[in-house]
Amino acid sequence: MADEEIEVEVKKKSPLIKIIVIALVAILLLVGTVVGTLFVTGFFDKKDTVAAEEALKNLENAAANNNAGANATNAAPQKVAKESPELQRFENSYMELEKPLVSNLTNTRKVIQLNLAIMTHYDERVFKNAKKHEFALRSVALDVMRQMTEADLAKPEFRKDLAAKIREEMNSVLQKYEDFGGIEEVYFTSFVVQ
């Protein structure tokens, strides 16, 4: 009977020991994973604080210089130079307005329809500004077209005069909204009067 009591006690203690051993193994695995992760990520490496401070100073100086340069370049776009050994020439860049412009001529039933392209010697900011304010640019171009009469059509320089007036008005809109015009020329890619 004593032997039976000892076997019962051993059987009762056995599941408790297994649970304790499993918990200890789980804790050791968790601690090992954390230490291994810290080691791999370089947590235990010596830190070079002097180099980090110098790198931070360099980044701050570069940011300050970029802000100063950005403020200067926001004032006016720069002309894009064209490489030429004899003369200093500037690169011509073109952009066409996507939709045609249609307007009636003053005091007539005639309609004028045209597509516009603008040219600049300056960098892409002129085109970004033109795209940004395309509705305003289209509006002033339509106002100029609407003021044309049938008598103006008969003039030999009609198209050149119309292009010059549209360019002036577009530059004044860009000057108003972006403090810089930059449109050098206005070209007609299609021109129909009916």
Alpha carbon of residue 154 to chain centroid: 45
Looking at the structure, tell me whether residues 97 and 188 fall in a common domain: yes
- ∠ Cα 128 96 152 (to 5°): 120
Looking at the structure, tell me whether residues 54 and 113 fall in a common domain: no
Count how many domains the chain has: 2
**CB-based contact 159:111 (threshold 8 Å):** no
Going by C-alpha positions, the residue among 86, 142, 92 that lies closest to residue 116 is 142
With respect to residue 136, please indicate whether it lies within any of the assigned structural domains: yes
Cα distance between residue 166 and residue 174, in whole Å: 12
Domain span at residue 69 reads 2-75
CA distances from residue 163 to 1, 33, 57 in whole angstroms, order as listed: 119, 74, 52
Query: Could you say which DSSP state residue 77 is in?
Result: P
CATH number at residue 105: 3.30.479.30
Tell me the pTM: 0.56
Looking at the structure, tell me whether residues 11 and 98 fall in a common domain: no
Q: What is the pLDDT along the chain (194 residues), one digit of tens a residue?
A: 555 555 555 555 678 889 999 999 999 999 999 999 888 887 777 766 777 778 778 888 777 776 555 555 456 677 776 665 666 677 888 999 889 999 998 888 999 999 999 999 888 888 999 999 999 999 999 999 999 998 988 899 999 999 999 999 999 999 999 888 889 999 999 999 98
